């Protein structure tokens, strides 16, 4: 079978863990050259070990403009123009909106919304025509303490729609994937105990059997579709990958 992304250059922020990592591994298996970005080097190196000749790792923070600029420069020096951009770096913090600490709300805005927007803005001059940008939005059930997270993700979805229109003259497609609750380390870093995390995830997942926790691979498969030529006429869309959670 021919590889879907043979020799395509894919840049993935948050590529050391969860959805970003699963996407990186799937893209590598489909022949892509992959650039991984996150703050911790070790997880990125684990992915790089799968195909050292086709992986570049860059450490940095999506909230720091110089780090994003360094990522773009390193990518073009090693692999040339970028065909696929997946700004997947993101965080969640648990706190009802009325009680949430302002600095935690701001951090989620900085990483999830501005981090995504600034990653795309930095890469615009480095994107090939026909490039695909795949953002990570998402919407958790209201009333569970993820209001600030939901607000940042709504901003990502709105931004992706605008960017799809702005970049259409260059035939660059911009889409979003909205994962439902997905089994990644994000949930271990929300600021509560493992037991409280389990209780939260039980509240967030719906009654449908199909809406139990998704896997990072479920999301990566949709990212592969959006990155591929099969999605050549798909832009400005948000694809929900939640096993029917929102519907059930």
Ligand X SMILES: NC(=O)c1ccc[n+]([C@@H]2O[C@H](COP(=O)([O-])OP(=O)(O)OC[C@H]3O[C@@H](n4cnc5c(N)ncnc54)[C@H](OP(=O)(O)O)[C@@H]3O)[C@@H](O)[C@H]2O)c1
Which DSSP string corresponds to 115-176?
Answer: HHHHHHHHHGGGEEEEEEEEEE---PPTTSS-HHHHHHHHHHHHHHHHHHHHHGGGT-EEEE
176 is a contact residue toward ligand X (CB under 6 A): no
Separation CA 174–CA 168 (nearest Å): 9
Residue number, 222 or 232, with CB nearest to ligand X: 222
Q: Contact, 89 vs 111, CB < 8 A? A: yes
Of the residues 4, 5, 11, 16, which one makes contact with ligand X according to CB under 6 A: 16
DSSP single-letter state for residue 246? T
Structure tokens at 170: 């260059």
Q: Under the criterion CB under 6 A, does residue 61 sit at the interface with ligand X?
A: yes
DSSP 172-213: -EEEEEEE-SB-SGGGGGSSS-HHHHHHHHHHHS-SSGGGS-
- 113-142: contacts with ligand X (CB under 6 A): 136, 138
Question: 21 or 169: whose CB is closer to ligand X?
Answer: 21
Cβ at position 198, least distance to ligand X in Å? 14
Cα–Cα distance for residue pair 51/68, rounded to 1 Å: 23
Residue 128 tokens read as 């090939």
In angstroms, what is the minimal distance from the CB of 2 to ligand X? 29
Least spacing, CB of residue 210 vs ligand X, in Å: 15
- Please, are residues 229 and 3 in contact by the beta-carbon 8 Å criterion? no
Q: Which of 143, 150, 149 is nearest to 204 (CA)?
A: 143
Of 18, 145, 206, 243, the one binding ligand X (CB under 6 A) is 18
From candidates 11, 12, 38, 163, binder to ligand X by CB under 6 A:
38
Q: Shortest gap between Cβ of 183 and ligand X (angstroms)?
A: 7
Distance CA 121, CA 141 (A): 30
Does the footprint of ligand X cover residue 206 (CB under 6 A)? no
Query: Is 39 one of the binding residues for ligand X (CB under 6 A)?
Result: yes
Name which position in 179, 231, 235, 240 contacts ligand X (CB under 6 A).
179
Instruction: Tell me which stretch binds ligand X (CB under 6 A): 18-26, 74-82, 121-129, 230-238.
Output: 18-26
Q: Which stretch binds ligand X (CB under 6 A): 24-32, 86-94, 125-133, 166-174?
A: 86-94
Residues of this chain that bind ligand X (CB under 6 A): 13-14, 16-20, 38-40, 61-63, 88-91, 111-112, 136, 138, 179, 181-182, 184-186, 216
């Amino acid at each position: 079978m021919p590889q879907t992304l043979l020799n395509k250059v894919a840049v993935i922020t948050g590529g050391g863990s969860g959805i970003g990592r699963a996407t990186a591994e799937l893209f590598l298996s489909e022949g892509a050259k992959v650039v991984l970005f996150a703050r911790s080097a070790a997880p990125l190196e684990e992915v790089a070990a799968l195909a050292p000749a086709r992986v570049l790792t860059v450490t940095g923070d999506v909230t720091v403009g110089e780090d994003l600029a360094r990522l773009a420069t390193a990518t073009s020096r090693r692999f040339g123009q970028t065909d696929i951009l997946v700004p997947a770096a993101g965080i969640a913090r648990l706190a009802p909106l009325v009680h949430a600490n302002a600095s935690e709300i701001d951090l989620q805005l900085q990483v999830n919304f501005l981090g995504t927007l600034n990653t795309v803005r930095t890469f615009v001059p480095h994107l090939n025509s026909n490039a695909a940008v795949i953002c990570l939005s998402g919407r958790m059930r209201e009333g569970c303490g993820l209001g600030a997270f939901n607000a940042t993700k709504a901003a990502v979805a709105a931004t992706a729609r605008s960017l799809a229109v702005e970049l259409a003259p260059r035939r660059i497609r911009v889409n979003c994937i909205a994962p439902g609750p997905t089994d990644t380390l994000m949930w271990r870093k929300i600021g509560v105990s493992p037991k409280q995390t389990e209780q939260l995830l039980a509240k967030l997942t719906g009654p449908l059997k199909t809406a139990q926790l998704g896997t990072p691979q479920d999301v990566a498969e949709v990212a592969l579709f959006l990155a591929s030529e099969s999605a050549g006429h798909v832009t400005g869309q948000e694809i929900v990958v939640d096993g029917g959670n929102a519907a059930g």
